[in-house]
Amino acid sequence: MLVHDKLYVGGQWVTPAEGGLLDVHSPHDKSLVGRAAEASPADIDRAVAAARKAFDDGPWPRMTPQERQAVIARFNELHAARADELAALITSENGSASWFTRWTLHALAEQTGAYLRAAEAFGWEERATESGPLIRREPVGVVAAVIPWNAPHQSALVKMIPALLAGCTIILKASPETALDALVLGEIFEQVGLPEGVVSILPAGRETSAYLVAHPDVDKVAFTGSTAAGRTIASVAGQQLKRVSLELGGKSATIILPDADLAAVVEGLKFLSFGNNGESCVAHTRILAPRSRYEEVVEAVKTMTESLVVGDPADPGTWIGPMVRADQQQRVRSYIELGISEGARLVTGGPEVPEGLEGGYYVRPTVFADVDNGMRIAQEEIFGPVLVVIAYEDEDDAVRIANDSPYGLGGGVWTADVERGLALARRIRTGFFTVNGADPGFDAPFGGYKGSGVGREFGAVGLAQYVEHKTIAV
């Protein structure tokens, strides 16, 4: 059992002000994975004060961009060397299948690499025109990064790395469910030689998060989580005129055009729809099928879903593990019951706990057919392995249905005609879209329209979220 009873505050390991410890339990069998220090508002005050002093008076914001890049490159090496260890720990904490956590942790070296490439080419100080004013891009200040539990190191580093490259100081508020891996992240930052006060890592619950978000000495909040929480954070930030970036929920649609290769579609949906147990903001959970091939699509999605192994997330053969907590399990099961009551056809799955897995927070991967896009199961983010298959009449109807959502994060189209797919992609109101499951990498911006957020992450656009622009007329 791992015990991490200290918080990482400004580069120092300190005892929590209130001495609290979080018990981290396995969602697979409810066993105790470990104990981690829990932050309180007093710890937030200490971390923010350290970050404020480090930003106002310390060397980090005043280093050259190249000096900061060298530190982050060293961090990237150290983090990559522990990828498998960290993946196993995260799987034990949040129940993500081991294939997914390994894939995610190994991909983070490239995510950070993309930020490093962007920083190297970034116009930190340049002329607007040959004889025009000077434009400086300066760090925004003290950043509060608040992250969820479903992909904790990805959510942490997609904020911490650009903030640090820009010269900001940062407080990471980690979720209680994944407190242990957050504090291990502090061990890695400790090794790279950051100045005092630049990084703090504090696992805590919602009340302490709210205290951090509202702290008057925080200049920017970077948040990943639910749209409801994002609205609250935006309101607080608006009152104080803090900078804010919000990566929020989604209800992404996959559009299967009549000429699509259905075998390739369902193979892609294994990852796009059911990756990370369906606990993913970008999951393709609305499957839009042409009326002419509707039952064929339903049957193919059903067969694929029933082929997925559900069970112990540490087992390499498992595709879908448990939900993270009992309340999340119950939430997903209640949506399945809601779909049945709304009149959708249950194709596979259902609200019952999978046989033999009653000791954990498991749900059955579920597919509904005969779904109207106005049903709640088609409009609300379920955050679990539940898909709905919706029929459309023609391409215009598919676009209308895809756009008929309070969210606008992701989505995709499947077709034998790539130009047709591109033309359709341009009509969808989302921040990210894929043609035939293509991987966009980490250099292009990621984020959402509408209720899916404000701002972007990844690459140069993500780095720009952590700078202010200053114009100097000479």
* Residues with catalytic roles: 247, 281
Residues with Cβ within 8 Å of 351's Cβ and at least 6 positions away in sequence, in order, are 333, 334, 336, 337, 340, 363, 364
Q: Could you give the count of Cα atoms lying within 13 Å of 152 in the half-sphere of its Cβ?
A: 30
Measured distance CA(444)–CA(284) in Å, rounded: 20
Measured distance CA(323)–CA(385) in Å, rounded: 9
Measured distance CA(50)–CA(142) in Å, rounded: 10
Q: Is 141:207 a contact under the CB 8 Å cutoff? A: no
Which strands make up the sheet holding 199-203, listed edge to edge?
Answer: 12-14, 7-9, 199-203, 169-174, 142-146, 220-224, 243-247, 453-454
Measured distance CA(292)–CA(67) in Å, rounded: 59
Residues with Cβ within 8 Å of 292's Cβ and at least 6 positions away in sequence, in order, are 258
Which strands make up the sheet holding 32-37, listed edge to edge?
Answer: 2-4, 32-37, 21-25
Measured distance CA(234)–CA(464) in Å, rounded: 19
Measured distance CA(320)–CA(413) in Å, rounded: 24
The helix (run of H) or strand (run of E) holding residue 268 is: helix 262-272
Give which of 212, 90, 241, 218 is closest to 157, Cα–Cα: 90
